[in-house]
Every structure is written in C-alpha cells, then in structure tokens.
Amino acid sequence: MINRTMDRHEFADRSKLAAAFADWTSDILRKAITTRGAALLVVSGGETPLRFFRELSTRELDWSRVTITLADERRVPDDSPRSNARLVRASLLQNEAARAKFAPLADSRLTPEQELASARARLASLPLPADLVVLGMGTDGHTASWFPGATGLAEAMDPAARALVAPISPPRAPEPRLTLTGRVILRARRLALLIEGPEKLATLARALEYGPVEEMPIRAPLRQAAERLTLFETLTK
C-alpha cells in the first residue's frame, strides 16, 4: 500500500459525511475569498455529490465571489437527467449559493469543435489554480472523465497538458465527454475525494496498491497530489 499518511475522514453515514464535507468546503472557500478576493470550486457530477451539494448550498459565505465549474461533463442537452450542469443548477446553485457564478463546460447545441473551443476559453478566464477540486470515483477506478482505456487518456491526465479541457470518449459510457485535464485537476490548491459504499471503498483499496495509473486513473491524484488530497468516506451506501 502507498499513501498511508493521506488525510482520510470516515463517517457513520452519508448525511453526516455530506454535512461535514460542506462545512470543510465552505471553510476553504471563505479562506480563499479572504486571501485572494475570490474562490474557484470545481465539482464532479454523478449521483454521489447530491447530498453534499444540498448541504453546501445552505452555507453562509460571500457566494457572489465564488465561481463553480465541473471536472467533467457528458455531451448531453442541459435538461437531460445525465447532465452534470443540470445537477449543479438544481442542487448546488440554490439557497445561499444561488449567488455563485457557474461556468459549465458542455453546450450540446454547438458542434463538438465549437463546444471544446468555448469550454477552453471559459476555463482560461477563470482564476486558476482552483481552490478546491471535488472528485468522485467509479468502481472501475475512473475519476473526472479519465476512464481506463479511453483514447487520449494520457494527455488528459497530464499535469503539464497544454489544454485545460480535453475531449474524451470513454469505451463503455453512453456519450462522449469533456474533461478537465491534469493541468487543472492535479495542480489545484486542494483536492477532495468523495467515496460512499463498500464497493467503492474496495476500489479505493485496490487503487492504493501498486499498479499502472492508466488502469485506474484515480491513482493520478492519489499519487501526484497526495499531500493536497483529503478523502471523505463512508461505508454506508
């Protein structure tokens, strides 16, 4: 095993995790605003972050100084149940956090080339490095849209990538995606990984063993950003 000293926080259930994670995140955002006048938060989509988003949306801070973007997006219309932007709008950009600015990546009305150019321009206008990148993980060891076996994976994970956003087509996922590259994710000031349930905890244990990063891309942040990464985990699913 590697990374024994990583900062790991375990919770009895998903609700306790979501509340503590929201407190922790809002502290980071407040400190960034105090220090730099603004904060940049990168969140992941999927199903796991819903409770965390709802909790975070109620925390008091100067949300007008916070910009939120996504670690990755599926190329689907904004009103699709599979849209990560839709999830963020419906569950995070609410309550106190309704005043935050949102910079989505995807725009399925555009051609793939236009969509990519527009996402890259939008990201380039944000105050990088991000104050916090919140990652999830799949049971195949993917994170963001860094899927094992995806064409362009090595370039997408590269912390020295020229691009901030890369197109990626996961081998088994239903639609093509846009993902932030290693240049944004691995160079963030802080990273957090949200893990719920025994299956994902087992995946995490495998990822912490020796083995190629390409087989389990979550290994990239676990190895390359270990000292900036905090794990929030619960066995309960």
The minimum distance between CB 84 and ligand 6PG, in angstroms, equals 5
* 92 lies in the site for ligand 6PG, by CB under 6 A: no
Q: Which DSSP symbol is given to 90?
A: I
Helix (H, G, I), strand (E, B) or coil at 218: coil
User: Closest CB to ligand 6PG among 159 and 197?
Assistant: 197
The binder of ligand 6PG chosen from 68, 100, 144, 208 (CB under 6 A): 144
In one-letter notation, the amino acid at residue 60 is E
User: What gap in Å lies between CA 14 and CA 9, rounded to an integer?
Assistant: 12
Over the window 155 to 184, marking each residue x when it contacts ligand 6PG by CB under 6 A and - when it does not, the resulting string is ------------------------------
CA distances 189 to 22, 42, 62, 100, 228, Å, are 17, 11, 20, 20, 7
- Site size for ligand 6PG (CB under 6 A): 14
Tell me, letter by letter, the H, E, C secondary structure of 41-56. Answer: EEECCCCCCHHHHHHH
| Structural tokens at position 152 | 């362009």
Sole binder of ligand 6PG in the list 25, 69, 91, 143 (CB under 6 A): 143
Q: Which of residues 184-213 bind ligand 6PG (CB under 6 A)?
A: none
> Scanning residues 31 to 60, which ones bind ligand 6PG (CB under 6 A)?
44-48
Using CB under 6 A, pick the residue from 104, 138, 217, 221 that binds ligand 6PG. Answer: 138
Give the pair of three-digit tokens for residue 144.
Answer: 């963001």
Other Cβ atoms less than 10 A from the Cβ of 212: the count is 9
Residue (136 or 163) nearer to ligand 6PG, CB: 136
- The Cα–Cα gap between 71 and 50 comes to 15
Give the integer Cα–Cα distance in Å for 195 and 237.
9
Q: How far apart are CA 215 and CA 219, in angstroms?
A: 9
Residue whose CB is less far from ligand 6PG, 72 or 131? 72
Closest residue to ligand 6PG, judged by C-beta, is 136
Those residues whose C-beta lies under 8 Å from the C-beta of residue 202, and which sit 6 or more positions away, are: none
> Which CB sits closer to ligand 6PG, 47 or 113?
47
224 near ligand 6PG (CB under 6 A): no
Q: Which is nearer to ligand 6PG, 30 or 159 (CB)?
A: 159
Residue with tokens 């910079």: 103
Among 26, 83, 84, 234, binds ligand 6PG (CB under 6 A): 84
Binding site for ligand 6PG (CB under 6 A): 44-48, 71-72, 84, 136-138, 142-144
